[in-house]
Amino acid sequence: MRKDYILDRWVVIASQRGRRPSDFFEAKRGRVKKTVCPFCPGNEQLTPPATLIYLRDGGGVRKTVEKGGFRHKNWIIRCIPNLYPAFSPLDDQKPELEFKSTVFHKSMKALGFHEVLIESPFHDEHPSTARKFQLKLAINAIKDRFHYLSSRDYVKCISVFRNHGVNAGASLSHPHSQIVAMPILPKIIEEEAKASRNYYKAEGECIFCSIVEEEAKSERFIWENESFIVFAPWAALNPFEFWIFPKRHQSSILETTGIEVENLAETLRVSLSGLKSLLNDPPYNLGFHMLLENHYHWHVEVYPRLTIWAGLEKSTGMFINTVSPEDAAESLKESFKSEENMFKKSERSAIHA
Ligand SMILES: [Zn+2]
Ligand SMILES: [Zn+2]
Ligand SMILES: [Zn+2]
């Protein structure tokens, strides 16, 4: 049994020896039904006005927004409000609902934002195959929205996540992420924040920096470049789970420099294509953990969806992972390496073309 570095969460590593990555291939993976894609260029009218648009402008990028019925064409990044938002901004036009709470029935207004970031105009340009240029745009758009949303006073936490594949909850296959700004700190982020605050007080350093330093030389290390490191977490809940950390201490993606954005683009590309090629394009969920607190250290967690959490997991919060993080790291390491080589070759030939 292993406990998470920080969270009060346990997992049983019950690896079945001799199990190979190919044993996780499904005979048939669910596919998104083919209908008109509202995220494809030309269908902008099917979506609400954008909160952020990137347009090509000479050699550079011009940023703008949309209002009313007008929609931009020829965008390279588009960020829109979710049509079915879980959280909505304060609306001066609408009367405030009253929220009453009792001891057993607590409630509050779901104040916040729920947006969709369309990561590319191309329907099939997923991060596992994307050009570095496009991934950099998507990362910069996350920075822009994070900057804007975190300046609202009722926003306590911003979650950026992506679902890939029907079995991971993606209802549309066009490459996109979601950005949710919430009025409270959800449990996992709160636990991480608390632990990093306490550790900083006691040890005078960042708990995540210390974890990264140890995992860099462990059997769970997978890949690194100048700015980022990837490893399989000690108490991974999911087979082939991996985490991505910036090497430099920084609390959110807002602190990344230009070269770090570039290196993050490479890290996402290499790791997600490595995952895809190792496990035959598995469904996965990916989440950014970020917080504007100095002791916190932002990171990305990637959870492949290869098993179904059933009775034990759902009823007790005790998990079983059938692939040890060390075995997962070994397979992922090899796959990342060959994807890195291919990616570098393709980027070079793109430059020469
Ligand atoms: Zn599309
Ligand atoms: Zn740190
Ligand atoms: Zn985390």
Ligand 2: centre distance to CA 327 (Å)? 26
- As given in the structure block, the two tokens for residue 127 are 């991060």
7: CA distance to ligand 3 center in Å?
Answer: 9
Task: Check residues 348 and 91 and name the one with the higher pLDDT.
Answer: 348
Q: Check pLDDT > 90 for residue 237.
A: yes
Residue ranges of domains in the chain, CATH in brackets: 2-38+142-352 (3.30.428.10)
Which residues have C-beta under 5 Å from ligand 3, the single-atom ion? 289
Which ligand sits closest to the CA of 43?
1
Nearest ligand by distance to the CA of 5? 3
- Using the mean position of ligand 1's atoms as its centre, give its distance from the Cα of residue 34 in Å: 10
Distance in Å, CA 313 to ligand 2 centroid:
31
For residue 39, report the distance from its CA to the centre of ligand 1, in Å. Answer: 5
Query: Which ligand ends up closest to the CA of 36?
Result: 1
3-state SS string for the chain:
CEECCCCCCEEEECCCCCCCHHHHCCCCCCCCCCCCCCCCCCCHHHCCCCCEEEEEECCEEEEECCCCCCCCCCEEEEEEECCCCCCECCCCCCCCCCCCCCCCCCCCCCECEEEEEECCCCCCCCCCCCCHHHHHHHHHHHHHHHHHHHCCCCCCEEEEEEEECHHHCCCCCCCEEEEEEECCCCHHHHHHHHHHHHHHHHHCCCHHHHHHHHHHCCCCEEEECCCEEEECCCCCCCCCCEEEEECCCCCCHHHCCHHHHHHHHHHHHHHHHHHHHHHCCCCEEEEEECCCCCCCCCEEEEEECCCCCCHHHHHHCCEEECCCHHHHHHHHHHHHHHHHHHHHHHHHHHHHC
Q: Which ligand ends up closest to the CA of 302?
A: 3
**Which pLDDT score is estimated for 174?**
96
What would the pLDDT profile of 90-107 be if each residue is shown by its tens digit?
876 666 666 778 888 888
> pLDDT of 6-15, one tens digit each?
988 888 888 7
* pLDDT tens, residue by residue, 242-272: 999 999 999 999 999 999 999 999 999 999 9
CB 88 within 8 A of CB 68: no
**pLDDT at residue 334, as a whole number:** 97
Q: Which ligand is nearest to the CA of 210?
A: 2
Q: Which ligand is closest in space to the CA of residue 248?
A: 2
Q: How many angstroms does the Cα of residue 263 sit away from the middle of ligand 3?
A: 20
Q: Which ligand is nearest to the CA of 125?
A: 1
Ligand nearest to the CA of 78: 1
- Res 119: pLDDT: 98
pLDDT tens-digit readout, 29-40: 666 667 899 999
* Ligand 3 centre distance from Cα of residue 224 (Å): 18
pLDDT number for residue 23? 80
**pLDDT per residue over 145-164, tens digit each?**
999 999 998 999 999 999 99
- Nearest bound ligand to the CA of residue 120: 1
Contact 66, 77 (CB under 8 A): no
